[in-house]
Each structure stands twice: as C-alpha cells, then as structure tokens.
C-alpha cells in the first residue's frame, strides 16, 4: 500500500463520507429545484435521479484509483505518474484557478445569505459581501492549520448541521403542504426539458474526485475510500431527489419562482423565525464546501513541491500540525484576489449573485477538464503499476474499468461543451480559463528549463514516488 509517512492518517470512514457530502452539496440545491421547476414541470425530481449517472462513472474511477494509490495530493500524483509531468503540472496549475474561483464564489454567496439575515441595504451590500467574504475565507484558512482529524471532525459537524439537518427540516415542514395534485400531469412540458435539466444538474454531483486528494490521510484507505464513495452516492441521490420531489409537491410548476427559500416564505411553510434559522443553516452548508476545498487541494501543491515541479517551499508541513501551510496560504491569497476583483468588476453589471455563479462556472469547467485525465489514468494504472492494481482494495474487471473510464471521460467532455450554451458563462470561461491555461504552458516550460539546468530530469522523477512515499 502506498502510504505517506508525514501526512497523518487521521480521517475515519465517517469523516471521509461527510467530506465528500460536504463538498458535493452546495447552495445550488436551494436554488435549482425551484428555478428549474417552471422549465421542467413536476418531474424535476427525475432529473436529479438521472443526473447522478455520469457522476457514478467518475466515482467508480476514483474508488479504483484511490484504493490503489492512497496518497496525499492524489489528483497530482495520479496524473503525473500515469499521464506524465506536463499533465501533472497542468492539473495543479488548473487547481489553483478552480479552487480560488470556488473560494471567491462561496465567500460571496455566504456573505449574501448573511446580508439577507441582517437585511443589509442594496447600496451597502457590495462592501458587506467583500468584507464578510474575506473574513470567512480567512476563518477556514486558519481552521485548516489544525490536525487533519480535527478538521475532519469539524467538517462532519458542519455537514450534518448545515447540509443534512436543514434539508430534513425543510422536508418535514413541507410534508403537510404536499399536494399530489401538482403531479398531474407529470410531464406537462414533455420529456425533453427533464432530460436537459438532468444535464444541468450533473454539476450538483461534482466533487467525488476530492477523495483522491485526501487519500493520504484516510485510515485504512484501501477499504475506506471505496466505502466512502459507495455510501455518499446514495445519500446524495436520496437527499437531492427528495428535495426536488417536495419542491414540486408544494409549489405548482406554472408559478415561476427563484429559490426554495422564496417558496418557504410565500407558502408559509415555516414561521418567520425559522426562516432566519434556515438561512443560517444554508450559510453553514456553503461553509461545508469551503472547508474541504482548503483541506483537499492544498495537498496537491504539497506533492508537486516535493517533486519540484512547483517551488519546493510548498513541500513544507507545519512541524506540529503536519498541515501544508504554504499551500493553504497560496489558496487564501489568490481566493481573496478573485473575490475583491471579480465581484466589484462584474457585480454592478450582472449583480453579485450572478457574478458569483459565473465564478462557479469557471470552477465547474476546470473540474470537468480534470476528470478527463483521471479517467484515462484509471485505464493505464494496471499496465504501468501492476503491483498496485493487484493490491487495490477495489479491483473490478479490466473491462469494467475501461468502460466506466471512457464513459466518465466522454460525459465530462460533453458537459464542458454544454457550459458554452450559456452565453455569459461561455464568455467568462473563454476569457479566464483558456488564457490562464496558456500562461500555465509557458510557466511549465520555464520551470522545466530551470530544473534541467539544475540537473533534474522530471521524466525520471515521475517514474517513481517521492521519498516520503513507501509501499508496504
């Protein structure tokens, strides 16, 4: 088994499960079921059931690769060892963009929910969002200084309270308002809108690859990584489907609405005081996604620093807590830069909420791009490292691996293309992601030349594993 001797294996199976759930569930479940109800009709819950299918392909690959290569910074390690040094570098380079755009999106969205609670006036909302967004990004940055088992425990608590509890409260409260007559007819607009919504809702299931990045800190990873994915997928499917089913049951599809909280207010689902509590819990749900972003993806910089594809200072761990402080600091700084740049720049034109969503589109397209080499790597693993394939805790047939990997890569590529059907999202992606990737190629070539002058052959480096990695 591949095991990192410095990163502490402090994440239990329940912690791993809730890290995945906390990462996958975001604020979209409180927006999309309501916003798309008028476009799909009451069969919107079926769209969530269909949307999980492409996510299963990627999760399947993660279960196999993660149990065979349970090392810290799995996204980098898997791509660099199985796809080569250039792909490994570009994966980490793109992670910077994806994570920091997500931090800015989540920081701004968190602040917007807090602004709603305190009824901050529109003229002051921009400054409020920026200040509160920075504060929450710093707070979770500091939280990730702590031992990984403490971070994992905190994530469990936040996910249970902020994600799961708030959904259960809504489901129970809405049950008495449920009207089965809203489902007659089930497909008033036809089947096609439901199928298209399923494509859109796929983004609600992205985040399974995160388990690879904390794999070096999961206890008994060969068994617990596949188990964590096996448990989290049905839990997410049930929560999403029930939420969408209840939204359709309490609100007629032909009355357009923007968010689930609007339905709660207009339908008298909960008393006014409880609506404030729900809003606070939704803000916690956003925080449950903020936390694992820092926790997981900082490990990729750690491992890339050890290989020296990135500056070696990223290879440093805190002497007491064994956490990658330089990598965490980089994510914080760039995340704040995104927050204080994009929100004021595009907020006046598109609105703060829409600007935040556009930032999430940047994250979405990068995540989809990163899933493609992961799926290809799963196909190559048994050939390049047959001994790891044999020791894998989840070892399906080679034919199954190939089929699921191809489906995962193809579906990811299709969803990248679908993102460009939205003019605003497509424009933001084009002016941010493509130039950023081009700069990454230049930075890679410069770094490669610097390492060559120092006598470091990266082709040889990525053939093996860092000194801190051993096979037992």
336-349: pLDDT as tens digits: 999 999 999 988 88
286-328 tens-digit pLDDT:
777 888 888 889 989 989 998 999 999 998 888 887 788 999 9
Tokens of 23: 């990462």
Cα distances from 344 to residues 47, 117, 282, 336, in angstroms, run 35, 22, 24, 12
Mean pLDDT of 386-409: 92
pLDDT at 378: 95
At residue 423, the pLDDT reads: 74
Hey, which of 62-66, 216-220, 459-463 has the most confident mean pLDDT? 62-66
DSSP result, 364-390: HHHHHHHHHHHHHHHHHHHHH-HHHHH
Q: What pLDDT does residue 472 have? A: 46
H or E stretch including 465? none
Alpha helices in 385-422 (DSSP H): 386-391, 398-419
pLDDT confidence of 465, banded at 50, 70, 90? low
- For position 467, what pLDDT does the model report? 52
**How far apart (Å, rounded) are the C-alpha atoms in residues 412 and 406?**
10
- The pLDDT score that the predictor gives to residue 246 is 95
Better pLDDT: 188 or 264? 188
User: Are 99 and 436 a contacting pair, CB within 8 Å?
Assistant: no
Q: Which helix (H) or strand (E) holds 79?
A: helix 74-83
pLDDT of 3 > 60? The answer is no
Confidence of residue 403 (pLDDT cuts 50, 70, 90): very high
Pick the CATH number of 2-471 from 3.40.50.880, 1.20.1740.10, 3.30.450.20, 3.40.50.720: 1.20.1740.10
In the Cβ-directed half-sphere of 136, how many Cα atoms lie within 13 Å?
27
Going through 106-192 in order, the beta strands assigned E by DSSP cover: none
Q: Is the pLDDT of residue 1 over 50?
A: no
Give me the mean pLDDT over the 69-98 stretch: 93
CA–CA separation, 397 and 406 (whole Å): 14
Residues in the chain: 472
**Residue range 21-60, pLDDT digits in tens:** 988 887 778 778 888 899 899 999 999 999 898 889 999 9
DSSP letter assigned to residue 247: H
Q: In sequence order, what are the residues at sequence separation of 6 or more whose Cβ sits closer than 8 angstroms to the Cβ of residue 279?
A: 113, 116, 117, 261
DSSP 267: T
More confident residue, 217 or 1: 217
Label residue 82 exposed, middle or buried (CB < 10 Å: 0-12, 13-18, 19+): buried
Over residues 353-370, the mean pLDDT reads: 82
- Asked whether 287 and 297 are in contact (CB, 8 A), the reply is no
For the chain, give the mean pLDDT.
Answer: 87
Task: Count H helices and E strands in the chain, helices first.
Answer: 20, 2
CB 218 within 8 A of CB 1: no
User: 369, 328, 265, 258: which is closest to 27 by C-alpha?
Assistant: 258
Q: What is residue 2's predicted lDDT score, i.e. its pLDDT?
A: 45
Q: Please report the pLDDT score of residue 346 as a whole number.
A: 86
Please, what's the b/e burial string for 405-435 (b: 16 or more CB within 10 A of its CB; e: otherwise)?
Answer: bebbbebbeebbebbeeeeebeebbeebbee
Residues 6+ apart with CB under 8 A from 247: 33, 34, 37, 44, 174, 260, 263
Predicted pLDDT of residue 471? 40
Distance CA 433, CA 428 (A): 8
% of the chain beyond a pLDDT of 70: 96
Which of these, 172, 387, 129, lies nearest to 264 by C-alpha position?
172
pLDDT interval class at 437 (50, 70, 90): very high
pLDDT above 80 for 426: no
* pLDDT band, residue 6 (cuts 50/70/90): low
In the structure encoding, which two tokens stand for residue 17, read together? Answer: 């499960």
Summarize pLDDT for 171-209 with one digit per residue, the tens.
Answer: 999 999 999 999 999 999 999 889 888 877 877 887 888
Q: Enumerate the β-bridge partners of residue 218.
A: 11
Match 């191809």 to its residue by tokens.
406
Which position has the higher pLDDT, 417 or 434? Answer: 434
The most confident of 122-131, 139-148, 353-362, 425-434, by mean pLDDT: 122-131
């Amino acid at each position: 088994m591949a095991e990192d001797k410095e990163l502490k294996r402090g994440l239990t199976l329940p912690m791993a499960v809730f890290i995945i759930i906390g990462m996958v569930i975001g604020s979209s479940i409180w927006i999309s079921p309501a916003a798309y109800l008028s476009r799909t009709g009451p069969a919107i819950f079926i769209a969530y059931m269909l949307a999980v299918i492409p996510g299963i392909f990627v999760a399947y690959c993660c279960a196999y690769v993660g149990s065979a290569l349970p090392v810290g910074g799995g996204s980098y390690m898997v791509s660099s060892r199985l796809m080569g040094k250039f792909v490994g570098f570009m994966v980490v380079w793109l992670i910077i963009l994806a994570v920091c755009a997500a931090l800015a999106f989540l920081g701004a969205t968190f602040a917007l929910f807090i602004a709603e609670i305190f009824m901050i006036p529109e003229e002051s909302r921009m400054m409020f969002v920026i200040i509160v967004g920075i504060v929450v990004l710093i707070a979770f940055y500091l939280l990730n200084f702590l031992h990984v088992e403490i971070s994992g425990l905190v994530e469990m608590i936040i996910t249970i309270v902020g994600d799961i509890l708030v959904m259960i409260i809504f489901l129970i409260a809405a049950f008495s308002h449920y009207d089965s007559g809203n489902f007659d007819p089930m497909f008033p607009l036809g089947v096609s809108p439901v199928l298209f919504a399923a494509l859109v809702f796929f983004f609600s299931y992205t985040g399974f690859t995160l388990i690879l990045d904390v794999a070096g800190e999961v206890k008994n990873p060969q068994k617990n990584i596949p188990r964590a994915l096996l448990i989290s997928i049905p839990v997410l499917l049930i929560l999403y489907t029930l939420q969408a089913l209840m939204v359709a049951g309490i609100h007629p599809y032909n009355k357009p609405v923007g968010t689930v909280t609007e339905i709660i207010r207009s339908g008298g689902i909960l008393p006014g005081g409880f609506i404030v509590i729900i809003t606070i819990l939704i803000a916690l749900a956003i925080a449950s996604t903020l936390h694992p972003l820092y926790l997981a993806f900082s490990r990729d910089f750690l491992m890339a620093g050890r290989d020296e594809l990135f500056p070696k200072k990223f290879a440093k761990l805190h002497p007491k807590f064994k956490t990658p402080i330089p990598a965490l600091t980089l994510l914080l700084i760039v995340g704040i830069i995104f927050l204080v740049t994009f929100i004021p720049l595009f907020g006046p034109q598109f609105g703060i909420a829409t600007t935040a969503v556009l930032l999430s589109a940047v994250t979405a397209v990068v995540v989809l791009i990163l899933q493609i080499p992961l799926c290809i790597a799963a196909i190559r693993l048994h050939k390049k490292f047959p001994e790891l394939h044999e020791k894998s805790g989840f070892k399906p047939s080679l034919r199954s691996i190939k089929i699921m990997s191809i489906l995962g890569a193809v579906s990811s590529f299709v969803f990248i293309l679908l993102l460009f059907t939205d003019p605003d999202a497509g424009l933001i992606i084009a002016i941010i992601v493509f130039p950023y990737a081009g700069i990454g190629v230049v930075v890679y070539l410069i770094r490669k030349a610097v390492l060559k002058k120092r006598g470091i052959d990266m082709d040889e480096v990525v053939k093996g594993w860092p000194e801190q990695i051993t096979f037992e």
